[in-house]
């Protein structure tokens, strides 16, 4: 059986990084965007990272522009925005696709391990679901990730143990991270 450690990704400068470099750590892998309604998630993510990184926790940030073009700019512009506005200190990788024929293999794997189960109940969640479905029609059966700030929790053995849609309260995400540590 595969683990996230079997994958290689590109950092902000385009250099290959093996996720095996993170073996033994609890990971939260997130597809992000700088111009999304969920962009303020950077603040609780950075808080969680600063509090828990010494316990073997890493957040891996992957910018993606596939959702209503909400991650414009190059890697340096995105990084500058995140560090200046939210003080992010966790690793940020190169911009990638999470859906369709060009989807990065890591995200195809993550979504296969923990498929989408819905945004939850309520008017806002229903509206997001409708908008996401319209956006993802372009990817047909290869729309793995429904929106920005989908988070995958990975245990110390490299196994995907949870998926959190952007509509999940960040306190619940942190609770799951702490339990995994």
For the annotated catalytic residues, the residue numbers are: 36
Rounded CA gap, 98 and 117, in Å?
17
Three-state secondary structure readout of the chain: CCCHHHCEEEECCCCEEEHHHHCCCEEEEEEECCCCCCHHHHHHHHHHHHHHHHHCEEEEEEECCCCCCCCCCCHHHHHHHHHHHHCCCCCEECCCCCCCCCCCHHHHHHHHHCCCCCCCCCHHHHHHHHHHHHHHHHHHHHCCCCCCCCEEEECCCCCEEEEECCCCCHHHHHHHHHHHC
Cβ neighbours for 172, distance < 8 A, ≥ 6 positions apart: 164
């Amino acid at each position: 059986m595969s683990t996230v450690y079997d994958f290689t990704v590109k950092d902000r400068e385009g250099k290959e990084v093996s996720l095996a470099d993170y073996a033994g750590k609890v990971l939260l892998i997130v597809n992000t965007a700088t111009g999304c309604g969920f962009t303020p998630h950077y603040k609780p993510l950075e808080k969680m990272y600063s509090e828990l990184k010494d316990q073997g926790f890493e957040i891996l940030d992957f910018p993606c522009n596939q959702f209503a073009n909400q991650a414009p700019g190059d890697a340096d512009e995105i990084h500058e925005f995140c560090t200046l506005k939210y003080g992010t200190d966790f690793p940020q990788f190169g911009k990638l696709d999470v859906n369709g024929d060009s989807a990065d293999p890591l995200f195809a794997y993550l979504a296969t391990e923990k498929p989408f189960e819905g945004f939850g109940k309520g008017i806002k969640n229903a509206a997001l679901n409708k908008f996401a479905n319209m956006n993802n029609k372009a990817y047909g059966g290869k729309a793995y990730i429904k929106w920005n700030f989908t988070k995958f929790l990975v245990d110390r053995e490299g196994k995907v143990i949870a998926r959190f849609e952007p509509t999940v309260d960040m306190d619940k995400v942190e609770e799951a991270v702490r339990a995994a540590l």
